[in-house]
């Protein structure tokens, strides 16, 4: 087993202190939240920060889930376990509970955070697709103040986000929309593993038709969302045939790579099937036919 390269350690006492440390230590400093993504990469020498800034102590400041101004606002240090156990998310944004049930194991869920997961931007990470499917926005704070970006702007590619040197994510904001539902479906080799393929979906109904939709795929080389598949849904009454059509479009837009988890053809097939299932469950929830 490898060990990390030498690094210096600092512990932040507040968000402002963390930003001051980022500014003074420079671009070779990294924030340490839950650590379940960063530390393994350091052990493998895939990441070699000169300084670690431990922000675990900011859990009281940045660990919350609350409804405000027509949104659910989630602090960046909110643990996976809190997302799973939140009654607000379970009742209004079921996609979060769906995803959290299949993320890692209790040990990881007790320590890992939503902000750390999004900032890692692993292509097989679940919460990025969850947030993209429901139109979440990310609050980034830096020396010049706050800026709010949507997931298309936030996600720049594998392991790359819009967070610049000297900045940190502080909050995730998810709109609460009437007559809507969301769901997440995942295939994994074993419980808690990275996804072979996964799909998140949200729908808003109006007058018996789909007025808006969100689709995001995980681990299959897809874009942040699947706009062509979303467009195929809008204006049409929900049906299995419609969901199958949108699912095929979403899967055709992916670019999976064959590996030990499955062939490219299998992953594309799984992406289509999981998208169809997620759309079906999201619609059932919008119609209050499923809790």
Mean of the pLDDT values across residues 42-66?
94
* pLDDT tier, 164 (very low <50, low <70, confident <90, very high otherwise): very high
Q: Is the pLDDT of residue 131 over 90?
A: yes
**Which neighbouring-strand residues pair with 149?**
138
Phi, psi of 26 (to 5 degrees): 90, -175
pLDDT for residue 193: 80
Whole-structure pTM over 0.85, yes or no? Answer: yes
Provide the mean pLDDT of the chain. 95
Domains and CATH numbers, the chain: 8-57 (3.30.43.10), 59-175 (3.30.465.10), 180-286 (3.30.390.50)
pLDDT tens per residue across span 215-237: 999 999 999 999 999 999 999 99
Distance, CA of 218 to CA of 177 (rounded, Å): 24
What is residue 272's DSSP assignment? H
Q: Is the pLDDT of residue 145 over 70?
A: yes
Angle of the 240-252 helix axis to the 264-286 helix axis, nearest 10? 140
Mean of the pLDDT values across residues 48-61?
95
pLDDT tens per residue across span 231-285: 999 999 999 999 999 999 999 999 999 999 899 999 999 999 999 999 999 999 9
Mean of the pLDDT values across residues 154-180?
96
Distance, CA of 129 to CA of 254 (rounded, Å): 13
Cβ 126 vs Cβ 218: under 8 Å: yes
Distance, CA of 74 to CA of 76 (rounded, Å): 6
Indicate the length of the chain as a whole number: 291
Distance, CA of 1 to CA of 48 (rounded, Å): 16
Distance, CA of 52 to CA of 182 (rounded, Å): 36
């Amino acid at each position: 087993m490898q060990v990390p390269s030498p690094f210096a350690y600092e512990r932040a006492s507040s968000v402002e202190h963390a930003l001051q440390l980022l500014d003074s230590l420079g671009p070779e400093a990294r924030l340490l939240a839950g650590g379940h993504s960063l530390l393994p990469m350091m052990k493998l020498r895939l990441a070699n920060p000169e300084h670690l800034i431990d922000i675990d102590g900011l859990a009281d400041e940045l660990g919350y889930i609350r409804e405000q101004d027509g949104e659910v606002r989630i602090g960046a240090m909110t643990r996976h376990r809190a997302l799973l156990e939140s009654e607000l998310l379970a009742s209004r944004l079921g996609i979060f509970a769906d995803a959290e049930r299949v993320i890692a194991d209790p040990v990881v869920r007790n320590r890992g955070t939503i902000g750390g997961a999004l900032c890692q931007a692993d292509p097989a990470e679940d919460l990025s697709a969850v947030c993209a499917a429901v139109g979440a926005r990310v609050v980034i704070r830096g020396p010049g103040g706050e800026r709010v970006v949507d997931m298309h702007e936030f996600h720049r590619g594998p392991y790359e986000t819009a967070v610049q040197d000297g900045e940190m994510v502080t909050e995730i904001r998810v709109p609460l929309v009437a007559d809507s539902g969301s769901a997440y479906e995942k295939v994994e080799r074993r419980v808690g593993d990275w996804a072979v393929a996964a799909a998140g979906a949200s729908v808003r109904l109006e007058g018996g038709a789909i007025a808006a939709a969100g689709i995001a795929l995980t681990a299959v080389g897809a874009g942040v969302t699947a706009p062509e598949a979303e467009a195929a849904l809008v204006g049409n009454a929900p049906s299995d045939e419609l969901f199958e059509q949108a699912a095929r479009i979403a899967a055709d837009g992916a670019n999976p790579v064959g590996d030990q988890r499955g062939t490219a053809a299998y992953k594309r097939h799984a992406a289509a099937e999981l998208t169809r299932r997620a759309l079906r469950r999201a619609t059932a929830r919008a119609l209050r036919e499923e809790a």
